[in-house]
């Protein structure tokens, strides 16, 4: 996953968060403004709704991360699945605000903080468990964003990893030291 070798849980977690953020951004960049707001059916979420939900989750979980419950009393989770911002610019503002909260909460942590207890919905988690929980949650939703973006982009889709039928070429580049990606 991470592009740089580390034995630091926090460094790796931050690298994974950055990679997840970038993956979502690269996918969203490949769709039109209109496609951000399309839901495949009545039960599906649009990319915009997914982003709004992620931003609400990030605001709740990472604000006062070490000192207050990760489910803030003012959060209206159900509203996160309704009426997303109307423009790409506003949507990306929510995206950036959410990720800023993640990085501002995680970057100052030390390895000694990993065993501290935080709560999410009244349930105790170690800091490490809380980071893992959120990393999995964001990867899950970014996967949905990528799926939808790839669907909408169709034949214009630009691969976010190794393009189909190009694994051998990629492996040759790795062997030649031309890339550090895994």
pLDDT in tens, 12-57: 999 999 999 999 999 999 999 999 999 999 999 999 999 999 999 9
Torsion angle of C-alpha atoms 167, 169, 173, 176, degrees rounded to 10? 120
Residue 168 has pLDDT above 70, yes or no: no
Q: What is the band of 182 on the pLDDT scale with cuts at 50, 70, 90?
A: very low
pLDDT in tens, 151-166: 999 999 999 987 776 6
Q: What is the band of 4 on the pLDDT scale with cuts at 50, 70, 90?
A: confident
Closest by Cα among 106, 101, 93, 92 to 27? 92
How far, in Å, CA of 53 to CA of 57, rounded? 6
CB 113 within 8 A of CB 120: no
Just give the CATH number of 9-161: 1.20.120.450
pTM (whole model) above 0.85: yes
How far, in Å, CA of 31 to CA of 177, rounded? 33
Locus of tokens 């393009």:
163
Q: What is the band of 1 on the pLDDT scale with cuts at 50, 70, 90?
A: very low
> H-type helices in the chain, by residue range?
9-28, 47-62, 88-106, 127-153, 167-175
What is the largest distance, in Å, between two alpha-carbon atoms of the chain? 54
Closest by Cα among 15, 5, 10 to 114? 10
How far, in Å, CA of 122 to CA of 71, rounded? 8
Query: Which pairs from 90-93 meet CB under 8 Å and 24+ separation?
Result: 91/36, 91/48, 91/51, 91/52, 92/28
Residue 172 has pLDDT above 60, yes or no: no
pLDDT in tens, 54-105: 999 999 999 999 999 999 999 999 999 999 999 999 999 999 999 999 999 9
């Amino acid at each position: 996953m991470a592009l740089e070798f580390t034995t630091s849980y926090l460094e790796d977690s931050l690298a994974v968060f950055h990679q997840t953020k970038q993956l979502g951004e690269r996918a969203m960049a490949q769709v039109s403004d209109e496609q951000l707001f399309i839901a495949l059916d009545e039960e599906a979420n649009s990319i915009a709704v997914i982003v709004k939900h992620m931003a609400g989750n990030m605001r709740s979980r990472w604000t006062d991360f070490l000192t207050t419950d990760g489910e803030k009393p003012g959060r209206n989770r159900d509203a996160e699945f309704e009426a997303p911002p109307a423009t790409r610019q506003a949507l990306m503002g929510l995206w950036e605000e959410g990720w800023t909260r993640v990085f501002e909460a995680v970057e100052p942590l030390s390895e000694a903080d990993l065993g501290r207890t935080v709560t999410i919905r009244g349930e105790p988690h170690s800091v490490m468990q809380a980071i893992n929980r959120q990393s999995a949650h964001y990867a899950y939703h970014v996967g949905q964003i990528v799926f939808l973006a790839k669907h909408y982009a169709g034949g214009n889709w630009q691969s976010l990893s190794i393009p189909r039928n190009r694994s051998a070429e990629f492996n040759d580049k790795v062997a030649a030291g031309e890339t550090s990606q895994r």
